[in-house]
Amino acid sequence: MPIITLLTDFGVEDEYVGIMKGVILTINPSATIVDISHHIDPQDLLRAAYMIQVSYKYFPPGTVHVAVVDPGVGSDRDIIAVKTKEHILLAPDNGVLTFLNNDKRIEAIVRVENPDYFLDTVSQTFHGRDIFAPVAAHLSAGLDISKLGPPLDQQNLVTLCIHEPYVSENDELIGTIASIDRFGNLITNIDEKTLKKFRKTASGTLLEIQMGEYKMIGLSQSYESVEPQSALAIMGSRGYLEIAVSCGNAEQHFIAEKGDIVRIRLTERSGH
């Protein structure tokens, strides 16, 4: 049974998502449609990119993933289809697939421009309905991506400016808040591999995580490992370090925003 996932910033108050599903099912009635999220903040390409990165790999081989966070709709921006060894991803060429750029599993990338697989009339404002949905349906039915348009060089795709964590002159691992989920958890750009490498190379025994003026010692194993309304650091299910508040909201607690700095150091003393 073919699977198509949808990730958009359309919300669910209006008809847009439902119409996309209708188009898909008209072309391929056997498709199963899975909603990743439709609550990306409007035009928030970075959050969409992170969400694609952490979700697509959990789906069966052959899944078609559609990302429509597309502030450039109707412009001359490209639409691209990316085929990896196990999945196909369909998105605007605006950076939402940035995290795939170094993926060695990519087998082919094409510009989507063959109108044979679009709806008969293409609006300048709703490519989700007129291009993405029908193309995804055809792909899920077995269409080879080479039929969609000419190949593209992976190096020429649009990429987002991603702030990578780094080690400062003071031997601190510096990261940023990359995303904030609906629980108010602050998701950093520091992944587990980066943190482990830092712990091996820096001196000290206690891991100290600093958010603003607040310091936390060590990583918690669960949200309930500290007192209610207390802050904690935890390696989240996405594989990235998160700052949370037990039974609370870290975004509100820290008055935090995306881009805020998180500092990590190894020390011999406890903070507070």
Residues 20, 235: Cα–Cα separation, whole Å: 35
Summarised one tens digit per residue, pLDDT across range 129-151 is 999 999 999 999 999 999 999 99
Which letter, b or e, does each residue of 219-255 get, where b requires 16 or more Cβ atoms within 10 Å of its Cβ?
ebeebeebeeeebbbbbbebebbbbbbbebbbbebbe
- At 104, the pLDDT band (50, 70, 90 cuts) reads confident
pLDDT at residue number 225: 86
For the record, the structure tokens of 201 come out as: 């190379």
For residue 40, give the DSSP letter: S
Residue 88 pairs with which residues in a beta bridge? 64, 83
- At 105, the pLDDT band (50, 70, 90 cuts) reads confident
Degrees to nearest 5, angle at CA 156 with 153 and 158:
130
pLDDT at residue number 212: 86
Q: Are 9 and 69 in contact (CB under 8 A)?
A: yes
Distances 210 to 12, 218, 237 between C-alpha atoms, Å: 37, 11, 21
Residues 90, 83: Cα–Cα separation, whole Å: 9
Other Cβ atoms closer than 10 A to 262: 25
Residues 140, 229: Cα–Cα separation, whole Å: 46
pLDDT at residue number 112: 98
Within the chain, where are the H helices?
16-27, 45-55, 127, 133-140, 192-201, 250-254
Summarised one tens digit per residue, pLDDT across range 11-66 is 999 999 999 999 999 999 999 999 999 999 999 999 999 999 999 999 999 999 99
Rg (C-alpha) for the chain, rounded Å, is 21
Range ranked top by mean pLDDT from 76-80, 104-108, 159-163: 76-80
Other Cβ atoms closer than 10 A to 194: 20
For the record, the structure tokens of 86 come out as: 């196990």
Closest listed residue to residue 181, CA positions, set 140, 236, 127: 236
Other Cβ atoms closer than 10 A to 13: 8
Residue 241 pairs with which residues in a beta bridge? 235
Which amino acid, residue 103?
D
pLDDT at residue number 103: 74
Strands 173-180 and 106-111: unpaired
Residue 187 pairs with which residues in a beta bridge? 179, 242
Q: Are 236 and 187 in contact (CB under 8 A)?
A: yes
Query: What's the gap between Cα 248 and its chain centre?
Result: 24
Q: Are 10 and 55 in contact (CB under 8 A)?
A: no
Query: What's the gap between Cα 196 and its chain centre?
Result: 22
Summarised one tens digit per residue, pLDDT across range 172-229 is 999 999 989 999 999 999 999 999 999 887 777 789 999 888 999 999 989 888 889 9
pLDDT at residue number 256: 94
Report all structural domains of the chain as residue ranges with CATH numbers, in order of start: 3-156 (3.40.50.10790), 166-267 (2.40.30.90)
Summarised one tens digit per residue, pLDDT across range 174-190 is 999 998 999 999 999 99
pLDDT at residue number 56: 94
